[in-house]
Structure 1
Amino acid sequence: MTTVQVAVPRKGRPLEAVLERVAHHAGPAADATERADEVVSTLRFEKAVTKRDRTADRSVYERLADYSDPSDPYAPEFTLFRDARDGFPRRVAFDSLTVPTEAGDVQLVGREEPFRALRKHEFALGFDSADLVLEEVVELRPEPLATLADVNERIDPRDTDVRVAGGLGDTVYHTLLATPETRGDGGRPLDRSFVAGHEGDLCISPRYERLVEAVIGTDALDDITFCYPGEDVDEEEAAIAEAGLGVYLTVTGSTARDNGLLVGEQLFPSETVLLENVHEMDERAAALAELLIDESETELVAPASD
């Protein structure tokens, strides 16, 4: 049976979410959960070594050789990437893992930018953060983009053949945050309408500028000036507290509150999503997509594209 290749991130929360989902659908004798855990623990250890939180007693090349088992077609594979930071010329990254499922063998292939790999027609399927879609291809409009289900409608088919097929439910939110002084004593809701009536700075991460424009809506930003955390700021919430108003990812909002911020409207879900290149899809890829996306596990499943 032909293996279906799926582009996935090389590290981080999205990769862990994909590994968990695919392992859940693996055959009973595949040891997929144990292999997925092996990938996660290996990458966390290597991240700790890179950040100097852990010490390795072997060179990176020796560790890489130990992580690999060429005799086992279902063993995870890793690779080395150049790290831009001084003193760390190489880092271990995820390369691939093949998992047997009822839809056939699935090979998860690590890519630095899975979404862009699909845009270049290298894969029919891929997983990436929904943020990347907003940052690159959705149309900016006066009205805000509020749900993942609306993303496909804002993708110009002349720009890309990639569409959002559904989410994995590992959701955190881009959330509006403000100091009590910025909100004032009027008790106004801390939502998009508040931003529309605000004049001055809005602190965001530089990489999220286009995303914020999409989820707040361009009309609401007429009197807003984006500002960004300085390089010496450890917590972006601290920079938002200094600016008075901002947007950042939250789970519980506890760090924001620790910095004296009020937690406002959840503007948009940051979720790992399954992406399809509609021109590369075939029956095997479609069967795998149907297997991996369970609408009961997330309210953010996008409608099928035309």
Structure 2
Amino acid sequence: MTPTEAVRVAVPRKGRPLEAVLERVADVAGAETVADRIVSTIRHEKAITKGRTTPEEDVYDRLAAYSDLGTDDAPEYTLLRDDRPGMPRRIVFDSLRVDIDGVPVQLIGREEPFRALRTHAFGLGFDSADLVLEEVVELEPEGIGSIADINARIDPINTDVRVVSGLGDTVFHTLMARPEILPPGADLDRAFVADYEGGLCISPRYERLVEAVLGTRPLAGVDFAYPAPDCDEEEAAIADVGLGVYLTVTGSTARDHGLILGEHLFPSETVLMENVVETDGDDPASRVREALAAATGETEIAV
């Protein structure tokens, strides 16, 4: 890499993970103003896509208004087809140049940053820890409970990607159940699941994640159940089954459906990742990795 070439970092294009990344980058690069502007823009475009607000300009005029290609450090945006009815075009994050620890860095939006690292297109990137569990963490009899446990479960033959640190934007995959399925005095935790036989309601996409988190041994007597395609609230489906796992922030919706909240099984958190083949040695990418991981609030990872 030449001295003027930027270190490329793959980042999510929208949503909570992008906001967590921008907050971390703002901390280490002094880029609070531009980070806030990007977050505000992406939230506004999300509201438009979901029909919560009506824009005065069409999508192309808004895209032009957000962009200032004559400035090197201005954010860039792009259009994607959203999967909602009508397939509306949605404005999402595309790229931003910042300076981190004296190294020029280009954040580049990707729909699947983790997979971009797996194919060696990038050496550094951010994505959800959930995706790592869903794709490359090996299933074993005993489960895992923290971000710090992930690397030990990654087969180095499968991928060169490793988790460096978590960003602390944590919501949890949480056990929840109707109170009547618990014996008197029992706790709703992993030990309860190990002794439980019956249905466990989860989102279909999280089947492998739940197997990795709980372990295959406790799930020996469990049958996965899934919400109906037209189900508006996962908690309602869990209430019908009796026991389930779903993401919680406050748990208020679960309580509205008569569910009690149990153990926080695993944090759904945005993580900094590296492809160790691409970042090996004392190079600019390694300096950027260390600066991003050294910011406050990270989850320590044993490599």
Structure 2's unaligned 5+ residue stretches are: none
Q: Distance in 2 between matches of 1:277 and 1:57?
A: 43
Please name the residue that 2:111 is paired with.
112
Please name the residue that 1:285 is paired with.
285
Moved more, 97-106 or 283-292: 97-106
Contact 1:103/1:287, CA 8 A, preserved across alignment: no
Kindly report structure 1 stretches of 4+ aligned residues shifted beyond 3 Å: none
Q: Distance in 2 between matches of 1:215 and 1:112?
A: 25
Q: Distance in 2 between matches of 1:221 and 1:43?
A: 40
Q: Distance in 1 between matches of 2:296 and 2:91?
A: 35
**Equivalent residues in 2 for 1:23-102, closer than 5 Å:** 23-27=26-30, 32-102=31-101
Counterpart AA for 1:123: F
Q: 1:245 aligns with which of 243, 259, 262?
A: 243
Deviation of 1:270 after TM superposition, in Å, equals 1.1
Question: Within the alignment, does 1:183 sit opposite 2:182 as a pair?
Answer: yes
Contact 1:173/1:267, CA 8 A, preserved across alignment: yes
Q: Distance in 2 between matches of 1:147 and 1:189?
A: 20
Tell me the SS of whatever aligns to 1:25.
helix
Deviation of 1:43 after TM superposition, in Å, equals 1.0
Please name the residue that 2:194 is paired with.
196
Contact 2:45/2:91, CA 8 A, preserved across alignment: yes
Question: Within the alignment, does 1:21 sit opposite 2:24 as a pair?
Answer: yes
Counterpart AA for 2:244: G
Deviation of 1:295 after TM superposition, in Å, equals 7.1
Q: Distance in 1 between matches of 2:297 and 2:79?
A: 35
Distance 1:85-1:169 versus aligned 2 partners, 3 A rule: closer
Tell me the SS of whatever aligns to 1:222.
coil
Structure 1 residues 158-199: Cα deviation after superposition (integer angstroms, max 9, x where no partner): 110000011111111111111101113x22111111111111
Distance 1:103-1:211 versus aligned 2 partners, 3 A rule: farther
Deviation of 1:123 after TM superposition, in Å, equals 0.4
Q: Distance in 2 between matches of 1:206 and 1:193?
A: 23
Q: Distance in 2 between matches of 1:195 and 1:240?
A: 15
Question: Within the alignment, does 1:162 sit opposite 2:165 as a pair?
Answer: no
Moved more, 277-286 or 99-108: 99-108
Q: Distance in 2 between matches of 1:252 and 1:89?
A: 31
Contact 2:100/2:291, CA 8 A, preserved across alignment: no
Structure 1 residues 92-122: Cα deviation after superposition (integer angstroms, max 9, x where no partner): 1110111122241221110000000000000
Moved more, 109-118 or 231-240: 231-240
Contact 1:23/1:99, CA 8 A, preserved across alignment: no
Deviation of 1:296 after TM superposition, in Å, equals 5.3
Tell me the SS of whatever aligns to 2:29.
coil
Tell me the SS of whatever aligns to 1:218.
coil
Q: 1:265 aligns with which of 242, 263, 266?
A: 263
- How many equivalent residue pairs? 298
TM-score by length of 2: 0.95
Distance 1:89-1:197 versus aligned 2 partners, 3 A rule: same
Deviation of 1:84 after TM superposition, in Å, equals 2.9
Please name the residue that 1:138 is paired with.
137
Distance 1:200-1:152 versus aligned 2 partners, 3 A rule: same
Question: Within the alignment, does 1:12 sit opposite 2:10 as a pair?
Answer: no
Q: Distance in 1 between matches of 2:181 and 2:12?
A: 38
Contact 1:16/1:40, CA 8 A, preserved across alignment: yes
What is the RMSD of the two structures over their aligned residues, measured on CA atoms?
Answer: 1.4
Q: How many percent of aligned residue pairs carry the same amino acid?
A: 63
Q: Distance in 2 between matches of 1:56 and 1:169?
A: 33
